[in-house]
A = this chain, B = another copy of it.
Amino acid sequence: MSAAPAIAAVDWGTSHLRIWLLDAKGAVLAEKRSDEGLMALQRSEFPVVLDRHLRSMGVADTLPAIVCGMAGSRQGWIEAPYLTAPAALTDVLDRAVIATGSVREVRIVPGIAQRLPEAPDVIRGEETQLAGLGDLIGKGRHLVCMPGTHCKWVEVEDGTIARFGTWMTGELFSVLSTQSILRHAVAAVDAGVTLDNRYFRDWLIQALSAPADMTAQLFQIRASALLFEMSPKDASAALSGLLVGTEIASAAAKFGRGRSEIILVASGRLQSLYAEGLKAAGHTPKSVDADRAVCAGLFEAARRHWPLQHGVPA
């Protein structure tokens, strides 16, 4: 039966858990999302939560599960120790560690550490998305931009993660718009910044040309609300444009020299905002959906650990 799942693919992050059931060719049969992320769980709860969700999806206890993300961190289900960069993506997938406590076989993909004193950094979850890009990054040198709470820019060379950096853009947006004096000026985070707000582009362009001035520009958002009655929605778009522009200017200067094409792994609004930002900075973004990428990476990892075949629904 082609509709029977062959693997449960799990992206288990800090604040969210997402489960996909994939068939033997990697196609998505079903999906489930929950906010039972790392922060909401005790160590012993990970296998319980996973098995409960999979049973509610009608899945047999024999179906294996492949996991990526913060569930593999020291505070997670079990630590899947970092591989050190440079690291081949196939090695990363092969090193998925066994997690015990579930009724089923479970493996967790490790993260990657860049152990350079001048540029220490870590990745956990994005390595699986990168592995899911397949032929797109199999040969040659590529630059990949992966927006999110902690945005990753990764240089991949012949299927190996060569070096990377992290820009705290998403977290800055969230913390500044809710915890700083900007909360008086900026609309609630979930208001949602969109491209049709011209303030996004105006502040983006400004930041691209003067990324070193970000902490001064921040206060100008507050002052614009005080002196020029900038609306909360416009202020939110300005803050987003300022932070995204600052990130792209900094990251492109570090990694993007002489490179026009940048692979953008993102979904939804983030995808459109970053595509606009990359274009404004003179790059050519090539977009890949982030969910598709992580599913493909998890499937590839599973394929390397289990002889995937169509299971039997419970």
Contacts and interface: CB of A to CB of B under 8 A. Distances in A.
Interface of A: 113-115, 117, 119-122, 150, 165-169, 171-172, 175-176, 179-181, 211-216, 218-220, 223-224, 226-228, 243, 246-247, 249-251, 253-254
Contacts of A215: 167-169, 172, 214, 243, 246-247, 250
Contacts of A254: 213, 216
A167 B212 CA distance: 11
Contacts of A179: 175, 179
15 contacts: A114-B223, A119-B220, A120-B224, A120-B227, A121-B219, A165-B216, A168-B181, A168-B216, A175-B175, A212-B214, A212-B249, A212-B253, A215-B243, A215-B250, A216-B254
B166 A223 contact: yes
B119 A227 contact: no
A119 B228 CA distance: 11
Given A121-B219, A246-B215, A251-B216, A168 B150 contact: no
A179 B175 CA distance: 7
Contacts of A115: 227
A116 to B, nearest CB: 9
A121 B220 contact: yes
Nearest to A120: B223
Copies of this chain, how many?
Answer: 2
Contact of A167 (B117, B166, B216, B227): B216
Contacts of A120: 220, 223-224, 226-228
Contacts of A227: 113, 115, 120, 122
Contact of A214 (B121, B180, B181, B214): B214
A250 B213 contact: yes
Contacts of A228: 117, 120
Given A213-B254, A214-B214, A219-B121, A180 B169 contact: no
